[in-house]
Structure 1
Amino acid sequence: MQLISSIDISAQKNVKTVQKEYDVAAFLYPAYASDDPRLLPFWPKGIGEWETVANMQERNPGHYWNRKPLWGYINEADPSVMSMEIEAATKHGVDVFIFDWYWYDNRPFMETTLNNGFLKADNVEKMKFYLMWANHDVGNTWDTRISHEPNIIWEGKVDRQEFEKICKRNIEKYFKHPQYYKIEGKPVFMIYDIPQLISGLGGVEETVSALKWFNDETKKAGFPGVDLQLTMWSINLNHSGFDGSKTENPEREFVKKLGFTSATHYQFVHFTNVDQDYMAIMEAVKKEWARIDANFDFKYYPHVSVGWDNSPRLGSSAVVKNNTPENFQKTLQMAKEYVDSHPDQAPLITINSWNEWTETSYLQPCNIFGYGYLEAVKKVFKGE
């Protein structure tokens, strides 16, 4: 019989459990800025899309949607404001921002939040970031005065010359930044709309060539390559220009042919009915993750959306019900368990979002739930 001394018992009691580290990444929508003149046609008051949040009741008297940010209508392109946000995010376990990134009219759009705010924050070393190229068309959705009028202001597609210009700029300006998020040394670059990409580049084969060129250019810059991340939703998984007749899984072969090495979702609304209870959506999420595991070769990083309600922009919307911080926490726990069951990949979880107020899917504190959503992240990923 082995005797354990009182010293041994005391030592065991003092052993601290080491909390596993996770990369919790929240999408950041960069429209809440006061220093970007290109936003003024949509939001003439000069506070970006906060204008849509602030005047919701004025436009729709008595509407149930009456959210207010506890931090106020902050200018996220101000480095001191972003410093505060980085502090709050990292304190609660969010350590990566995925910036929605735009390029229209041959130049970047809504980039001041990243360039003037985040990258100039005095504590930027606490946080990683990467880009999701939101290469969709822009219509009147952002302008509540004419949001119901069909119209295309800017097209999201670009040709090969413009694509190369974009890639070279991002490699130099962002990929080489010490805070850019990498997996196995590869900068992660997410693309939102594959049909737009293919249309602009001229076809599937031309897109394969362009993405291979992008990977080669990233290698020339000193990296092992680029981690091309696919935005998972139906429009991105098939294309009329791809012959999938010789394979039993054309979606998988299509993605592989294009060269995507990883994937995540941007929003639950992209793959299930969100006009229902959050717990029912959780069941759909479980099935989606299982389907992806069974049908694709890339590494999938689990995604959790806070909610969905586009009423501030459109006046009415599908609405996620019962998406309380407590239920949100359950889905985060599910994502954590998914990561733990896939030890061969980065411990990355994506969340929609840090600040999508007009889609009612945000982590930032509000008058309804206070810091509840951030506290949920903290409980799951920091064990506090």
Structure 2
Amino acid sequence: MTMHAPTPATDDALTPLARAIAFYLPQFHPIPENDRWWGQGFTEWTNVVLGRPRFEGHYQPHLPADLGFYDLRVEETRIQQAELARQHGIEGFCYYHYWFGGTRLLGRPLDDLRSSGKPDFPFALCWANESWARTWSGRDHDVLMQQSYSVEDHRAHIEWLAPVLSDVRYIRVDGRPLLLIYRPDAIADLARMVDTWKTHCRHVLGAEPWLVGVRTGFSVGSTSVWAAAGFDGVVDFQPSRHHFPPARSNAGRAVAIARKLLPERWYDALRNNAWLGERELNNIVDYRAYVEGWINDVPAPWLPHYPCVFPSWDNSVRRTAATIIENHDPELYARWLAAAVERVADRPLDQRLVFLNAWNEWAEGCHLEPDKRHGLSFLEATASALMRRSISFSEKG
């Protein structure tokens, strides 16, 4: 018998037209490694509260409303998040999972979820298999945690993953646990790893994982390689950085070079210089133009593609030369999500996956959680697109 995660309850008891899964960042609690690298008590909020407008009309800072500046070690917070998502048609969260040769980082929210049984809300994992660098301070070359791969580690990793995939709340597609990998192209022995993982899960769980690669603007090569390795689908992650324009000024190019070459104390002084606040330094993208471009785009062949949409994007609290997608709007977002739902409408319900970036990427200005300006508007837009119902969007001024 085919098993899948429970259908989310909604106010009007309508069944969503697609299975909406929101990427979930577990960065909102302190860990010893971040204390060493960034300072005592560092969490995602440390960057968020530093947000300032860089030019007239620039929306910063993004500050939380209903849920406040939460700590993911608090069970009540995780339950509130799940209820808010469920009420607006979101089926589950896809937790970023950080594994570095047997070392896990930011794992407590998932561990507490498993041990306590709360919240009773579907979830899946996305292995964020990238090395950690000082990206948030603009120093990408300064590696903090190196990602590496080996046959032994692939075996150890799936042995750790299998009990998580067996959780009754774990999201399944046609009875198989959904498992995402953020950078499949970074894994040299990909086919061998996939075979190891699927073989182990068949023996231990009685089902192979529904394995999905994440295609980003940093992805290289064709997804045909992923198909040949045994993947079942591709998430077209958005925003896709290859759509972002390059730095459009000499100042922007100079800062990009300085970010890589200058000693940190000089670079920090440069960041604080007033001339860096000019609009021309940043990559500015219009939200409507981005949405229109996506709607008119044609997915690549080889594997089933699962669309991904985002409500907003602004990484200026992490970047000196930032990418800011301005003029984001709940009605445009609802239209985009409705178009994404249409792309999967001809598939069996279990395979109608649509991904939302993100539930809580606050430092990237990319969150469905309510903020001070928009309140519940983007969550209401999510419900309207998934349920095909008309609502009015009222933003908090």
Shorter-chain TM-score: which interval?
0.7 to 0.9
Give the stretch that moved more between structures: 186-195 or 251-260: 251-260
Aligned partners of 2:41 and 2:223: how far apart in 1?
45
- Pick one of 281, 285, 293 that aligns with 1:276: 285
The normalised TM-score by structure 1 is 0.81
Aligned pair partner of 1:136 in 125, 130, 135: 130
What do residues 301-321 of structure 1 show as CA deviations (whole Å, max 9, x unaligned)? 111122221101113412112
| Residue 189 of structure 1: aligned partner | 179
Q: Where in structure 1 are there 5+ consecutive unaligned residues?
A: 1-15, 199-205, 239-250
Q: What is the Cα deviation at residue 210 of structure 1? A: 2.0
Which stretch shifts more, 19-28 or 96-105?
19-28
Match of 1:299 among 304, 314, 323: 304
Out of 145, 149, 161, the residue aligned to residue 158 of structure 1 is: 149
Contact 1:156 1:196 in 2 (8 A): no
Q: Is the 8 A contact 1:47 1:75 kept in 2?
A: no
Q: What is residue 246 of structure 1 aligned with on the other side?
A: none
Match of 1:257 in 2: 228
Contact 2:310/2:358 (CA < 8 Å) preserved in 1?
yes
* CA distance in structure 2 between the partners assigned to 1:17 and 1:52 by the alignment: 39
Which digits, 9 at most, give the CA deviation of each residue in 1:207-231, with x for residues without a partner?
A: 2122111101110013321111011
| 8 Å CA contact 2:174, 2:350 repeated in 1 | no
What secondary structure does 1:178 align onto? Answer: coil
The verdict on how the C-alpha distance between 1:73 and 1:121 changes in structure 2, with shifts beyond 3 A counting, is farther
Tell me the SS of whatever aligns to 1:301.
strand
* 1:354 counterpart letter in structure 2: W
Residues 124-273 of structure 1: pairs in structure 2 closer than 5 A: 124-125=119-120, 127-142=121-136, 144=137, 147-148=138-139, 150-172=141-163, 174-198=164-188, 206-233=189-216, 235-238=218-221, 251-273=222-244
User: Structure 1 pair 122/181, CA: closer, same or farther in 2 (3 Å)?
Assistant: closer
- 1:50-65 matches, cutoff 5 A: 50-57=45-52, 65=60
Helix, strand or coil: the match of 1:349? strand
Q: Distance between the aligned counterparts of 2:26 and 2:342, measured in 1?
A: 30
Distance change in 2, residues 1:343/1:283 (3 Å): farther
2:145 maps to amino acid: W
**Offset of 1:114 from its aligned partner?**
1.7
In 2: Cα distance, 1:123 partner to 1:134 partner: 24
Match of 2:276 in 1: none
Q: 2:105 aligns with which of 99, 103, 109?
A: 109
> Match of 2:299, as an amino acid?
R
| Amino acid in structure 1 at the alignment position of 2:22 | A
Deviating more after overlay: 328-337 vs 268-277: 268-277
Measure, in 1, the Cα distance between the counterparts of 2:380 and 2:350. Answer: 26
Q: Which has the higher relative contact order, 1 or 2, with Cα contacts under 8 A spaced 6 or more apart?
A: 2
Name the larger-Rg structure.
Answer: 1
Distance 1:281 1:60 in 2: 21
CA distance in 2, matches of 1:78, 1:161: 35
Query: Counterpart in 1 of 2:382?
Result: 377
Corresponding residue for residue 295 of structure 2 = 286
- Is contact 2:235-2:355 (8 Å) kept? yes
* TM-score computed with the length of structure 2 as normaliser: 0.78
TM superposition shift of 1:31: 0.4
Q: Which residue of 1 aligns with 2:75?
A: 79
2:162/2:205 contact within 8 Å kept: no
Cα 1:98/1:128, change in 2 over 3 Å: same
Matching residue of 2:335: 330
TM-superposed CA distance for 1:157, in Å, is: 2.5
Separation in 2 of the partners of 1:186 and 1:17?
Answer: 26
Closer, same or farther: CA 222–266 of 1 in aligned 2, 3 Å: same
The answer to whether the Cα contact below 8 Å between 2:97 and 2:126 also exists between their aligned partners in 1 is yes
Q: Percent identity?
A: 21
The alpha-carbon distance between structure 1 residues 230 and 189, as it changes in their structure 2 partners (threshold 3 A), is same
Task: Decide whether the 8 Å contact of 2:194 with 2:229 is kept in 1.
Answer: yes
Evaluate the alpha carbon distance shift between residue 123 and residue 114 of structure 1 in structure 2; reply closer, same or farther with a 3 A threshold. closer
Aligned to 2:317: 312
**Compared CA separation, residues 160 and 149, structure 1 to 2 (3 A):** closer
The alignment's C-alpha RMSD in Å is 2.6
| Structure 2 Cα separation of the partners of residues 170 and 192 of structure 1 | 16
CA distance in 2: counterparts of 1:235 and 1:56, whole angstroms? 26
CA distance in 1, matches of 2:102, 2:161: 14
Distance of 1:270 and 1:149 partners within structure 2: 16
Distance (whole Å) between structure 1 residues aligned to residue 385 and residue 99 of structure 2: 36
